[in-house]
Chains A and B, each alone.
Chain A
Amino acid sequence: MADVHAAGRARIAGPEVRRLSERLARDPASLVFLHLGDALRRDGRLDQALRVAENGVARHPDLVDAHALLGRVAADAGRLIQAEACWREVERLAPGHVDAARGLAFIRWCEGRPDEAREYLEEAFARTDDDATRRSITAAINRLSGVPDRRVIAPTPHLASPAMTGGVNGSGNATGNAFVPASGEVAQEMAAVLEHANRLGEAMQIGRWHALIVECDVGLMGVSLSSADNVAEPGVRFQVADNLPVGRAIRLLLQDQEGE
């Protein structure tokens, strides 16, 4: 099994990671670890990303970006307590840091506390006057509030909930809006499922999860992970469907992610 995993890693280990690793090896005190840690995180190699980020923090304890990197990686790895400590440290070093508020929002969201997540996002919004950042934060707030994001109701076949947003015909093609905001108890339970999924990915050495399907007595529930780098956006889409084969649901979820 180890060989299979190693082969998988080799496939996804891009030249960027190799180049950055070599640069860091040549100059361990450099700030290249910031880029390497993020590159590893994007590859889903969270164990390695954690090591790089933790070493970076140890070498540069006063560097805000080092703590921010560790906060992002720890959150991805489902280590919410560690992630929160990192973002608190960012706040201490750089009061009013936008990403600290967004990072804390993400943690609250993962914990199934959407109201607190929204408060942090609103705080983040107030901390920046950058238009792109504000748009991104607004999209995240809207998603928490159940306001459809224009980007995710494209007229392409997706999973859908007849009860909530539209219909799914016998072939599984959505006839209404594609994405359903999870709320209340469902969101809380799914957040717990996803935290377990994060930790399972780590235990199984298969990296960050991309899609999760729960087959139910009635249809299925699907969750896909946004490929957005921005950790503060709740980059998880919850969808439900009736009458859709599981293999097709998985393909659709993975297409969602790749299509971002």
Chain B
Amino acid sequence: MSQTTLRNRLRDVLRSVSPTRGVLGALLADADDGIVVASSLDVGLDADAVGALAASMVARANQAAMAAGRGSAGVIHLHSALGWLCAARAGAHVLVVVADRQAPVGHVRSALLRARASLTDL
């Protein structure tokens, strides 16, 4: 698969998350260096910063989980008064979904897990 095709497929996977109620966009970053591979986030957001920080946060959360004797970290949910972020490791990448605060937790989480499953098929 060419790089262009791969990118298009990745973008399609990210777009598949967006119809979920309250979801504002999604992003895929390299798990090691945090470089954004694909993003459907609004241009107003600094996707590079979100990708790098999310990748690093997922890695540190995984270390915290291991240190606490709870195995590996799976999905991470970060809530604020205005919205929330859902992130998870997806193979060599980190998948991030950004939602507004009204978005149903279960739906967004399911969308993220579906997208993660699609990524493993690529």
Q: Contact at B80–A189, with CB atoms within 8 Å? A: no
Stretch of A22-30, A81-89, A169-177, A203-211 contacting B (4+ beta carbons < 8 Å): A203-211
Which residue on chain A has the smallest CB distance to residue B54? A200
- How long is the Cα–Cα vector from A2 to B100 in the complex, in angstroms? 11
Q: Contact at A250–B61, with CB atoms within 8 Å? A: no
- Provided the pairs A210-B81, A246-B77 are in contact, do residues A8 and B101 lie with their beta carbons within 8 angstroms? yes
- How long is the Cα–Cα vector from A234 to B79 in the complex, in angstroms? 19
- How long is the Cα–Cα vector from A139 to B22 in the complex, in angstroms? 39
Q: Contact at B24–A4, with CB atoms within 8 Å? A: yes
Tell me the dominant secondary structure on chain B's binding face.
Answer: mixed
Q: Contact at A209–B65, with CB atoms within 8 Å? A: no
Q: Tell me which residues across on chain A come within 8 A of B109, comparing CB atoms.
A: 246
- How long is the Cα–Cα vector from A5 to B106 in the complex, in angstroms? 22
Distance (whole angstroms) from the CB of A213 to the closest CB of chain B: 4
- Provided the pairs A8-B81, A221-B70 are in contact, do residues A214 and B46 lie with their beta carbons within 8 angstroms? no
Residues of A in contact (CB 8 Å), total: 46
Distance (whole angstroms) from the CB of A226 to the closest CB of chain B: 15
Stretch of B7-15, B37-45, B114-122 contacting A (4+ beta carbons < 8 Å): B37-45
Q: A219 an interface residue at 8 Å Cβ cutoff?
A: yes
Q: Which residue of the partner chain, among A44, A200, A204, A218, contacts B70 with CB atoms under 8 Å? A: A218
Q: Contact at B24–A1, with CB atoms within 8 Å? A: yes
Q: Tell me which residues across on chain A come within 8 A of B41, comparing CB atoms.
A: 1
Q: Which residues from chain B sit less than 8 Å from chain A, CB to CB?
A: 24-25, 41-42, 44-46, 49-50, 53-54, 56-57, 60-61, 63-65, 67-85, 98, 100-101, 105-106, 109
**Chain A to chain B: the 10 pairs with minimum beta-carbon distance, closest first:** A217-B71, A1-B42, A189-B64, A196-B57, A216-B70, A8-B82, A206-B83, A215-B74, A203-B49, A185-B67
